Amino acid sequence: MPRFIVFFIIFLSACCGFEAGAQSYFTALEVGFSAGGSQYFGDLNEHYGFQTIGPAGGLYARERLNSYIALKFESSFTQVGYNDSYNTDPYDKLRNLNFKSNIVEMAVQAEFNFFAFVTGVKGRRYTPFLTGGIGAFFYDPYTTYNGTKYYLQPLGTEGQNAGYGNRRYTSTSMCFPIGAGFKYWLKGGVNLTLEIADRLTLTDYLDDVSTTYAGASSFASNPVAQALQDRSPGQVLGITGKQRGNTSSYDQYLMAMFSITFNFTSYRCPSFMKFDDDLRVRQ
């Protein structure tokens, strides 16, 4: 969050310079907030179920480079999770794993409008758009066992602390938002956006599940880790080498967000830094 604030101040200062005595108009800089929901997809939700939609929200700044292309910087928060009880496959139900995780994400996205979009201009009031970008996020999967909350990464439930060091993972990863949306200005300088974007990640441990069971003997000194590595009734699945997750793809999370943004007013720039005429909107 401190980095976002520094970026925002620099961004605002760069975009709000003025020339004395010049005429004011809406600039290409927008700031706003978003709210919506998210859904995780991965080893516990391979069939793209939507039973565990979590809350999501964020703050962002958007710079419209022209009426068709914009660049957005967003800091967002969401909670994801899933439970094998929602699955229909008998093996998945027997596996009986579950998790939750809070996610804090910072991302930069480019937006490509289908139609020219300029706030305050009647003929350019709305547009569908495509978006894509890159970001980083923090996550920390946890579960509840016998009424107590346990974070799973330190426990090494796939044997990370007992001879399977190649399975270690950190609590940060990269993500690549890809999606589409729709923009509509309510009045000059006030804009509404709906965006649905899937986050392709570079981790298979968003849910703390990826490869095979390490076996109960790998957790002889940690009874909690032993219980959480195999939560099947009677611990009948946790045989060393038996499939626990699916390594063929990384985990994902999708976010659907409604956003409202506000344009800052500024003063007309010198002639060599003019915005396009279609961005000069009277107040």
Q: Could you report the per-residue pLDDT of 78-136, keeping only the tens digit for each?
A: 999 999 999 999 999 999 999 999 999 999 999 999 999 998 888 899 999 999 999 99
Backbone region of residue 215 per phi and psi (left: phi > 0; alpha: psi in -120 to 50; beta: other values): left
Question: What pLDDT is recorded for position 81?
Answer: 98
Question: What pLDDT is recorded for position 58?
Answer: 98
65, 114, 251, 266 from 275: Cα distances, Å: 9, 20, 41, 12
Which of 64, 114, 50 minimizes the C-alpha distance to 255?
50
Question: What pLDDT is recorded for position 28?
Answer: 78
Does residue 5 carry a pLDDT above 60? no
Q: What angle do CA 35, 40, 44 make, to 5 degrees?
A: 160
Which of 273, 192, 281, 260 minimizes the C-alpha distance to 15?
273
| Per-residue confidence band for 2, with pLDDT thresholds at 50, 70 and 90 | very low
Does residue 21 carry a pLDDT above 50? no
Question: What pLDDT is recorded for position 264?
Answer: 76
Does residue 142 carry a pLDDT above 50? yes
CA 250 to chain centre: 14
Q: Where does the chain have alpha helices with state H?
A: 2-15, 90-95, 223-229
Structure tokens at 209: 């599940």
Is residue 149 within a helix (H) or strand (E), and if so which, with residue range? strand 148-151
Q: What is the mean pLDDT of residues 42-55?
A: 97
Question: What pLDDT is recorded for position 196?
Answer: 98
In this structure, of 65-74, 141-150, 202-211, 266-275, the range with the lowest mean pLDDT score is 266-275
Does residue 269 carry a pLDDT above 70? no
Does residue 55 carry a pLDDT above 70? yes
Mapped onto helix, strand or coil, the DSSP state of residue 208 is: coil
Does residue 40 carry a pLDDT above 50? yes
Residue 81: exposure state from Cβ atoms within 10 A (0-12, 13-18, ≥19): buried
Question: What pLDDT is recorded for position 27?
Answer: 59
Does residue 245 carry a pLDDT above 50? yes
Structure tokens at 11: 């961004």
| Per-residue confidence band for 265, with pLDDT thresholds at 50, 70 and 90 | low
Residue 258: exposure state from Cβ atoms within 10 A (0-12, 13-18, ≥19): middle
CA-to-CA distance for 208 and 230, rounded, in angstroms? 12
| Dihedral pair phi/psi, residue 140, rounded to 5° | -160, 85
> Between residues 70 and 27, which one has the greater pLDDT?
70
Q: What is the third-level CATH fold of 2-279? A: Porin (2.40.160)
28, 167, 205, 239 from 99: Cα distances, Å: 42, 18, 11, 21
Structure tokens at 142: 């946890």
Structure tokens at 158: 């796939």
